[in-house]
Amino acid sequence: MRSLELALLGAGKVLLAGLVFGAGLPVVYALAMRALTIGTTTVAGPDGDGRERRSPLGLALAGVLVAVVAGGVVLGLVLIVAGGFGKAVSFEHVVPVVVDK
């Protein structure tokens, strides 16, 4: 019975890692797109068409979230390329650094 408990514990850890790494960046990107609508107002022009005016707060928040997504993509590429060259990425001092294995 202990082996079933350990298997489920391991499956839970894999599921959590998959959600964080697999779905985490798309969720952050979706939040960035949603942040673009924060404070958005629609203004009617003289021709009757509506124009959207975005708020600086929404634009800034969306920019920060897109930068987080871009950083995650770049970090993932660095991990893949470093592994291909026989190197490793160390997070010893918080900042990722490529080191020899």
* pLDDT 10s digits, 38-72: 988 888 878 878 888 889 999 999 999 999 999 98
Whole-model pTM over 0.75? no
Position 83 pLDDT exceeds 80:
yes
Alpha helices by DSSP H, 1-101: 2-22, 24-35, 56-84
Specify the pLDDT at position 95: 86
Answer whether residue 1 shows pLDDT above 80: no
Task: Write down the domain spans for the chain.
Answer: 2-100
Q: What is the pLDDT of residue 4?
A: 86
Judge whether 38 and 55 are in contact, CB under 8 Å: yes
71's tokens: 């950083």
Q: What is the pLDDT of residue 101?
A: 85
